[in-house]
């Protein structure tokens, strides 16, 4: 009798293991890798814990180079959705939420997370890329050069915007028109900009016409008479 019970229990355990294995094999896998750095000085942060935010499952801790590499299992069909929580002592936590389309198969993605020191005035940031050359530390580090350029540009732009309501700026030798939500790079300071489809001015003249906080939208223009159009609160 005892032997029969033991056999039954073993059989049940075996069936559960098979079921779990089959279920897992039907899941799609997201291979994640990346770097976590200080958003102010861009230096790597070791000992950062990364979690699957929805399930609160611990995934990985960054090494001495701020590098991490892990895997996430997501639903076998439908939209791919997942969230990551990046948590480190003395830094503000960062939540990265992803919602992709119904993409078949497994995927790899690289993240660059910049965490804000609680005592710093810098802002957290995250950059996402889909690696062509793999997710090794060397490849991830190589991709970080592009991220650093973006971050440094944003810092320069933020400094240019501070304490004024100008719309037209020159940063690193390039010209931009800027709203409170984004910017457009101009080919030259002479490009023509329409205000609400009416008045047309050049980029270098626009600071005398409107203020940045009055802009509601900006876009390239298809008209032959102007290069861009800006909409403002009237």
How large is the average pLDDT for residues 39-52? 97
Q: How far is CA 138 from the centre of its chain?
A: 20
CA dist., res. 199 & res. 109, Å (int): 46
Torsion of CA 36, 37, 38, 41, to 10 degrees: -170
pLDDT for position 6: 61
Whether the pLDDT of residue 80 is over 70: the answer is yes
pLDDT, tens digit, 9 for 90 and up, residues 14-28: 554 544 444 445 789
Measured in degrees and rounded to the nearest 5, phi and psi for residue 128 equal -120, 140
DSSP letters spanning the chain: -HHHHHHHHHHHHHHHHHHHHHHHHTSEEEEEEEEEEETTT--B-SS-EEEETTTTEEEEE--TTSEEEEEEEE-SSS--EEEEEEE-TTB--EEEEEE-----S-EEEEEEEEEPBTT-----EEEEE--SS-S-HHHHHHHHHHHHHHHHHHHHHHHHHTT---SEEEETTEEEEE-SS-EEEES-TT-EEEETTTEEEEGGGGGGT--GGGEEEEEE---TT-SEEEEE--
Whether the pLDDT of residue 68 is over 60: the answer is yes
How large is the average pLDDT for residues 196-210? 95
Whether the pLDDT of residue 197 is over 50: the answer is yes
pLDDT, tens digit, 9 for 90 and up, residues 135-193: 999 999 999 999 999 999 999 999 999 999 999 999 999 999 999 999 999 999 999 99
Share of the chain above pLDDT 90, in %: 75
pLDDT for position 13: 56
pTM: 0.76
Give whole-number Cα distances, 22 to 17, 47, 81, in Å. 9, 34, 21
Whether the pLDDT of residue 98 is over 50: the answer is yes
pLDDT for position 89: 95
pLDDT for position 75: 83
Whether the pLDDT of residue 5 is over 70: the answer is no
pLDDT, tens digit, 9 for 90 and up, residues 112-146: 999 999 999 899 999 999 888 889 999 999 999 99
Confidence band for 76, pLDDT divided at 50, 70 and 90: confident
CA dist., res. 109 & res. 71, Å (int): 10
């Amino acid at each position: 009798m005892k032997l029969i019970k033991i056999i039954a229990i073993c059989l049940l355990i075996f069936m559960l293991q098979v079921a779990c294995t089959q279920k897992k094999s039907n899941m799609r896998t997201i291979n994640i890798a990346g770097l976590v750095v200080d958003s102010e000085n861009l230096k790597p942060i070791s000992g950062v814990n990364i979690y699957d935010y929805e399930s609160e499952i611990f995934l990985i801790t960054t090494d001495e180079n701020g590098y991490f590499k892990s895997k996430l299992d997501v639903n076998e069909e439908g939209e791919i959705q997942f969230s990551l929580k990046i948590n480190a002592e003395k830094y503000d936590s960062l939540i990265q939420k992803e919602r992709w389309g119904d993409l078949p198969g497994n995927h790899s993605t690289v993240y660059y997370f910049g965490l804000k020191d609680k005592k710093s005035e810098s802002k957290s940031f995250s950059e996402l890329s889909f690696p062509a050359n793999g997710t090794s530390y060397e490849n991830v580090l190589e991709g970080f050069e592009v991220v650093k350029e973006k971050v440094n540009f944003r810092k320069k732009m933020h400094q240019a915007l501070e304490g004024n309501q100008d719309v037209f700026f020159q940063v690193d030798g390039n010209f931009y028109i800027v709203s409170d939500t984004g910017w457009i790079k101009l080919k030259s300071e002479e490009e023509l900009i329409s205000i609400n489809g009416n008045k047309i001015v050049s980029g270098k003249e626009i600071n005398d016409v409107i203020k940045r906080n009055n802009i509601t939208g900006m876009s390239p223009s298809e008209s032959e008479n102007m290069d861009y159009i800006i909409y403002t609160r009237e």
